[in-house]
Amino acid sequence: MTATNQQARYFALLPAAGVGARMAANGPKQYLTVGGKPMLRHAVDAFRASALVAHTYVVVSPDDGVIDSVLPPELDGVTVLRVGGATRMDSVLNGLRALAGQLAEHDLVMVHDAARPGLTPALIAKLIDGVGDDPAGGLLALPVVDTMKRSAPGADGVSVSAATVPRNGLWSAQTPQMFSYALLLHALGSAPDANAITDDASAVEMLGLSPRLVEGHPRNLKVTLPADIRIAEMYLANEEK
């Protein structure tokens, strides 16, 4: 692949160098089996099944000894980058820098959590269509429907409800989050604190830009706790896309 075409292309980038401490598992959560195959493979296969995506890149730790069994080197449309960093932001940024010269500045990069196995080609297409040519990019997200509470420490050490937070205008961010290669590289490269960047949109917002919110789907949940696996499997068992 070269960066000579003037037409913007769409690429996927999945940071998969995390350890998944909250899952209480014996290894990285992206390799836990959900619906018969590793979570990471579900996410990668969604991009591979989309005719809109030119190529998918997966960023792992340099010493990752599992990735070759999950994504064999001969797998079409996927390249593994062994440049993972200490934080999610570091991994994404290292991946982008590793692709210098292969992607054009105006090519679009969709960053997706490896632990979101419910992504579908239809959601990928919805994001691309919803963002359009907005220079600020955009992301899948869901409007908050539950009543939101702000907690405070109670007298016995447990959390208590201190206030009700208006949910108007609140959205729960999902992935993929899509931005031009040049914008994302600049936003992450200029972010002052990697630990403060919990998603790519927050880095873009720090530049004074407002990414578009494109309504996603509950099936695209992030598997964070053990109970989330069963929920993800319920969605994966549903063949409707």
pLDDT tens for 43-102 read 999 999 999 999 999 999 999 999 999 999 999 999 999 999 999 999 999 999 999 999
CA distance readout (Å), 195 to 85, 87, 103: 12, 7, 27
Tens of pLDDT, residue by residue over 157-195, are 899 999 999 999 999 999 999 999 999 999 999 998 877
CA 178 to the chain's CA centroid: 9
pLDDT value at position 165? 94
Rounded Cα distance, 128 and 50, in Å: 11
Output the CA torsion 17→201→4→46 (10° steps).
60
Is the pLDDT reported for residue 3 higher than 60? no
Task: Specify the long-range contacts of residues 103-107, CB closer than 8 Å, at least 24 apart.
Answer: 103/3, 103/9, 103/11, 103/181, 104/3, 104/4, 104/5, 104/8, 104/9, 104/181, 105/180, 105/181, 105/182, 106/8, 106/180, 106/181, 106/182, 107/3, 107/8, 107/9, 107/10, 107/11, 107/180, 107/181
**Residue 1 pLDDT level (bands cut at 50, 70, 90):** very low
**Predicted TM-score (pTM) above 0.85:** yes
pLDDT value at position 21? 46
What's the mean pLDDT in 139-160?
Answer: 94
What's the mean pLDDT in 197-205?
Answer: 94
Domain 10-237, CATH homologous superfamily name and number: Spore Coat Polysaccharide Biosynthesis Protein SpsA; Chain A (3.90.550.10)
**Residue 155 pLDDT level (bands cut at 50, 70, 90):** confident
For all residues of the chain together, what is the average pLDDT?
A: 92
Q: DSSP assignment, residue 166?
A: P
163 DSSP β-pair partners? 150
Coil vs helix vs strand at 4:
coil
